[in-house]
């Protein structure tokens, strides 16, 4: 283990343990009002009338007419209304906000409001959508030729469902006007995203907006774009009331009406000639929901990962993110990759079975290695540690022997083991870092020789305050206690980009390391010094072109192999997880405890996605799984034997050799789990979550 990897007390440890850490709901301000949102009850309708009760003194209604800027939230495409205009496009769409000094009274008023809708027929099923938000296609080699010359073509469709981030702290923000400016503070991942959105909605210059992140109780992608929407609504309300306004979502509201993972349908056509895979023709469909929000970037990543970790010379990948009258989907750990990695791992498994091979044998044959070309004709520039990861998994689990042993089973309990191999492309897709984000980070040395880190990345529980400080302290050769970082405040920190895509530590951490190296050289005792660093794309990167998806989509990749062993009770169709093993390469861990926490937590989230996290809408487009008793996430008891190991594979261009870590552990759990279920049940499976009800159907099919 490298020195830097040694674990240290987290910067936010004391405050979170002793209760002094203040989350947005802990903040009270003089004259503060409480806001609650009126959400659309219909999936698609024209609002013909809104009948308001008489409002007590001090209470007000905020809606589209109060938006002083543009009634659109600036995300990638500006299509999400701040407040609904004449129509509503999904159940939950915010129509107006009731604001006032007493939360209970606000609630009472909310219930008295009558909205008269002229209902229209909603499009709920993505297969029937008539609106394509994003449509991307790319090719490599000659897919038509591969199909024409194939002796056999495998065709199969794979389905994945919603997944809710289920962070502990629900969405919440406070907005307050002050000296002609607007401040918004609260739970978020990306202060500068919120900053542009608020300026656009209230119609002011960027300098008149201040965004402060408060201690945030988890994000997992769910606080990437959504806080921009809520911030616009709260800021408009605060501007109208000319007082601070706080909005905290309750759990049901948060689960039903905020972004979640895109459900997907992916169809794979795989050409085989002379027992060799000669090409993959892949069609991916993502359910965006009613507005575009982050669907473009989620789809891009999904498509780039569509051939998995395999060398496929002829490739044609097409994908669409389509509109439906459902809640807009957004970012969630892995964004886009868990969907297509599930599909490609399963199709490889199914092809192997047809060829009379074990899936691992087939996968090993096509696995990429350093120097190979990526799906987008970029290059795997660095060592690919998959072979040693597979070996380690085999040592830990006796995978190959068990896989054979479990093929033929009878009796009540049947075991199975499955394996997946996958990557996370580190950082923003394509040239986003270079062309869009252009991250800037600063460090400031104070006269007392303490050093403050100034960056816009948020600690959302992933330990970023600690790892940033470790990098700077170690580079400067000063004690960790002398380096500090506060929650980002856009009045104080430069735009070092959003806290997404497992980019913060690798990219911004890299800028901080460079800044610290410079400061070390220029260090003047007792003087204030500020060092600023700007993002520079590494020289080796083959520039990415989004038009044809060519070049290096990512500078480097984090790698992983997972194995999961299950035991199915054929009487109840329930499944016990006997063990889950993950080998993870995230470069050099900047703090082993933090990285292990990330790996174990993400892996468990992935197991939940695969097995029990089920969410769906009914015929009216209403999501009913809106509480923790209806939306089941795994507990520690459900996977007692969860083993995460780190494989050190330093990244030459990352700070201390680190690369992206946060997303990786979720990405490959689903295919490992479902492969294990196939091994136990002796059937081909093609969907997640794969629930006890699905198992029962297979068992009844097999047994009767």
Q: Name the residues that contact another protein, by CB under 8 A.
A: 412, 570-574, 576, 612, 624-625, 629-630, 632, 634-635, 637-638, 692-693, 696, 700
User: Least Å distance between CB 640 and another protein?
Assistant: 9
Please give the Cα distance from 634 to 613 (Å, whole number).
8
Please give the Cα distance from 160 to 338 (Å, whole number).
9
User: Least Å distance between CB 260 and another protein?
Assistant: 18
* Cβ closest to another protein, residue 50 vs residue 633: 633
- How many of the other CB atoms lie within 10 Å of CB of 145? 13
174 near 184, Cβ under 8 Å? yes
User: Least Å distance between CB 237 and another protein?
Assistant: 26
User: Least Å distance between CB 699 and another protein?
Assistant: 8
* Cβ closest to another protein, residue 232 vs residue 578: 578
For residue 418, give the nearest of 556, 581, 618, 215 by alpha carbon: 581
* Cβ closest to another protein, residue 511 vs residue 573: 573
Going through 179-275 in order, the beta strands assigned E by DSSP cover 181-186, 209-213, 245-248, 264-273
User: Least Å distance between CB 109 and another protein?
Assistant: 17
Please give the Cα distance from 634 to 439 (Å, whole number).
37
For residue 587, give the nearest of 602, 598, 571 by alpha carbon: 598
* Cβ closest to another protein, residue 6 vs residue 701: 701
Please give the Cα distance from 448 to 482 (Å, whole number).
9
User: Least Å distance between CB 351 and another protein?
Assistant: 31
Phi-psi label, residue 477: left if phi above 0, alpha if psi -120 to 50, beta otherwise: left
User: Least Å distance between CB 623 and another protein?
Assistant: 12
Please give the Cα distance from 195 to 183 (Å, whole number).
9
User: Least Å distance between CB 604 and another protein?
Assistant: 12
CB neighbours of 273 closer than 8 A, spacing ≥ 6? 146, 149, 150, 151, 152
- Please give the span between the terminal C-alpha atoms of the chain, in angstroms, as a whole number: 55
* Cβ closest to another protein, residue 104 vs residue 408: 104
**String of DSSP letters for 63-81:** -GGG-SS-SSB-SSSS-B-
Q: How many CA atoms lie within 13 A of 510 on its CB side?
A: 22
Please give the Cα distance from 314 to 143 (Å, whole number).
5
Dmax over CA atoms of the chain, in Å, equals: 82
* Cβ closest to another protein, residue 189 vs residue 575: 575
Order of strands across the sheet that contains 413-425: 413-425, 557-569, 574-585, 642-646
* Cβ closest to another protein, residue 129 vs residue 625: 625
Bridge-based pairing of strands 172-178 and 181-186 is antiparallel
User: Least Å distance between CB 20 and another protein?
Assistant: 24
Please give the Cα distance from 416 to 418 (Å, whole number).
7
* Cβ closest to another protein, residue 479 vs residue 635: 635
User: Least Å distance between CB 612 and another protein?
Assistant: 6
* Cβ closest to another protein, residue 352 vs residue 612: 612
* Cβ closest to another protein, residue 372 vs residue 630: 630
User: Least Å distance between CB 231 and another protein?
Assistant: 31
- How many of the other CB atoms lie within 10 Å of CB of 20? 10
* Cβ closest to another protein, residue 438 vs residue 624: 624
**Burial degree of 480 (CB within 10 A; 0-12, 13-18, 19+):** middle
Please give the Cα distance from 418 to 629 (Å, whole number).
29
User: Least Å distance between CB 638 and another protein?
Assistant: 5
For residue 436, give the nearest of 75, 188, 187 by alpha carbon: 75
Please give the Cα distance from 370 to 463 (Å, whole number).
31
* Cβ closest to another protein, residue 572 vs residue 652: 572
- What b/e readout covers 395-414, taking b as 16+ CB neighbours within 10 angstroms? eebebbebbeebeebeeeeb
* Cβ closest to another protein, residue 14 vs residue 250: 250
User: Least Å distance between CB 635 and another protein?
Assistant: 5
User: Least Å distance between CB 611 and another protein?
Assistant: 9
DSSP at 338: H
For residue 507, give the nearest of 653, 624, 681, 389 by alpha carbon: 653
* Cβ closest to another protein, residue 390 vs residue 639: 639
């Amino acid at each position: 283990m490298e020195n830097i990897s040694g674990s240290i007390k987290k910067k936010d440890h004391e405050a979170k343990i002793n209760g002094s850490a203040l989350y947005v709901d802990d903040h009270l301000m003089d004259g503060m009002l409480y806001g609650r949102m009126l959400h659309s009850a219909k999936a698609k309708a024209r609002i013909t009338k809104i009948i308001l009760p008489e409002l007590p003194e001090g209470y007000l209604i905020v809606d589209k007419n109060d938006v002083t800027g543009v009634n659109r939230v600036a995300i990638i495409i500006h299509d999400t209304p701040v407040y609904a205009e004449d129509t509503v496009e999904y159940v939950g769409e915010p129509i107006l906000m009731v604001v006032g000094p007493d939360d209970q009274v606000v609630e009472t008023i909310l219930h008295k409001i009558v909205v008269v809708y002229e209902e229209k027929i909603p499009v709920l099923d993505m297969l029937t959508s008539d609106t394509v938000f994003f449509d991307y296609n790319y090719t490599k080699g000659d897919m038509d030729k591969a199909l024409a010359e194939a002796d056999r073509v495998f065709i199969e469709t794979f389905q994945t469902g919603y997944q809710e981030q289920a962070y502990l702290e629900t969405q919440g923000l406070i907005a307050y006007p002050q000296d002609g400016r607007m401040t918004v503070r609260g739970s978020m991942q990306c202060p500068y995203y919120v900053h542009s959105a608020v300026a656009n909605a209230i119609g002011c210059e960027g300098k008149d907006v201040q965004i402060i992140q408060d201690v945030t109780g988890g994000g997992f992608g769910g606080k990437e774009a959504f806080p921009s929407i809520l911030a616009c609504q709260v800021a408009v309300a605060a501007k109208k009331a000319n007082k601070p306004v706080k909005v905290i979502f309750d759990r049901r509201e948060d689960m039903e009406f905020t972004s979640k993972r895109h459900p997907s349908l992916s169809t794979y056509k795989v050409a085989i000639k002379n027992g060799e895979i000669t090409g993959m023709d892949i069609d991916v469909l993502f359910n965006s929901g009613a507005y575009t929000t982050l669907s473009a970037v989620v789809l891009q990543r999904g498509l780039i990962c569509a051939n998995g970790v395999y060398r496929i010379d002829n490739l044609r990948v097409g994908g669409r993110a389509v509109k439906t009258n459902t809640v807009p989907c957004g970012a969630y750990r892995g964004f886009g990759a868990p969907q297509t990695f599930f599909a490609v791992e399963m199709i490889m498994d199914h092809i192997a079975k047809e060829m009379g091979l074990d899936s691992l044998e087939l996968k090993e044959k096509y696995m990429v290695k350093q120097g190979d070309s990526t799906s987008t004709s970029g290059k795997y520039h660095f060592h690919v540690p998959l072979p040693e990861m597979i070996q380690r998994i085999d040592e830990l689990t006796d995978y190959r022997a068990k896989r054979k042993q479990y093929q033929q089973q009878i009796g009540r309990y049947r075991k199975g083991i499955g394996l997946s191999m996958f990557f996370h492309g580190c950082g923003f897709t394509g040239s986003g870092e270079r062309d869009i984000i252009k991250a800037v980070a600063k460090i400031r040395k104070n006269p007392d020789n303490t050093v403050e880190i100034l960056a816009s990345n948020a600690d959302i529980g992933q330990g970023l305050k600690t790892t940033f400080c470790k990098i700077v302290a170690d580079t400067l050769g000063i004690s960790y206690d002398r380096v500090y970082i506060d929650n980002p405040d856009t009045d104080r920190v430069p735009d070092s980009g959003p806290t997404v895509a497992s980019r913060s530590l690798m990219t911004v951490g890299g800028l901080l390391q460079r800044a610290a190296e410079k400061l070390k050289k220029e260090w003047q005792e007792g003087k204030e010094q500020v060092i600023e660093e700007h993002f520079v794309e590494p020289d080796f990167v083959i520039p990415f072109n989004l038009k044809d998806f060519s070049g290096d989509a990512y500078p480097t990749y984090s790698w992983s192999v997972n194995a999961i062993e299950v035991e199915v009770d054929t009487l109840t169709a329930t499944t016990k997880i006997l063990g889950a093993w993950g080998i993870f390469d995230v470069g050099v861990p900047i703090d082993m405890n933090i990285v292990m926490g990330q790996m174990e937590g993400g892996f468990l989230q992935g197991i939940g996605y695969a097995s029990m996290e089920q969410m769906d809408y009914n015929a009216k487009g209403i999501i009913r799984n809106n509480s923790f008793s209806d939306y089941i996430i795994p507990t520690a008891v459900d996977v007692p034997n969860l083993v995460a190991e780190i494989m050190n594979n330093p990244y030459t261009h990352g700070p201390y050799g680190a690369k992206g870590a946060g997303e990786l552990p979720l990405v490959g759990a689903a295919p490992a789990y479902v492969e294990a279920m196939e091994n136990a049940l002796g059937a081909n499976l093609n969907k997640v979550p794969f629930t006890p009800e699905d198992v029962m159907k297979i068992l009844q099919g097999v047994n009767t």
